[in-house]
Amino acid sequence: MKVTYLAAIMLALAGRSAVAETSVETHYSTTFKQCMSDVEHGSDDTASILACQDAEIAVQEGRINQAYIMIMTRLPSPQKTQLRREERGWIVRRNAKCGSMASQYAGGSLEGQVWRSCYLDETVKRRIYLERY
């Protein structure tokens, strides 16, 4: 219950609509969903939440890298250059956005959770974009 409440707070703090959050959540791995459920029904400590998020970040980074590679293999050279430039810009924007959101909780236990939540959601959204490219 606490994790669900925390997720609701983070959702509100991030200024995202419930509809947008739901669509992103459908792209989380089953392992992550189970991990967060276990935390919710177990210790519910910050370290456990961060561990779940870190593992999911690795999964989502693998997925976005796979999508990127698939696109790059089929694009002509000029478009590859453009996509590479877009991706670098997106990484800078994602990191700045998530850093800004997390900085509101600097020094608190929510700082890392907010950063990771933002990072995950932005990575999933970009992967969806790339898969439709």
Q: Name the residue with higher pLDDT: 41 or 1.
A: 41
Whole-number percent of the chain with pLDDT over 70: 82
- pTM comes to 0.81
User: Does 11 score more than 70 pLDDT?
Assistant: no
The predicted pLDDT at position 17 comes to 42
Domain ranges of the chain: 2-131
Query: How does pLDDT run across 65-110, given as a tens digit for each residue?
Result: 999 999 999 999 999 999 999 999 999 999 999 999 999 999 998 9
Burial (0-12, 13-18, 19+ Cβ within 10 Å), 1: exposed
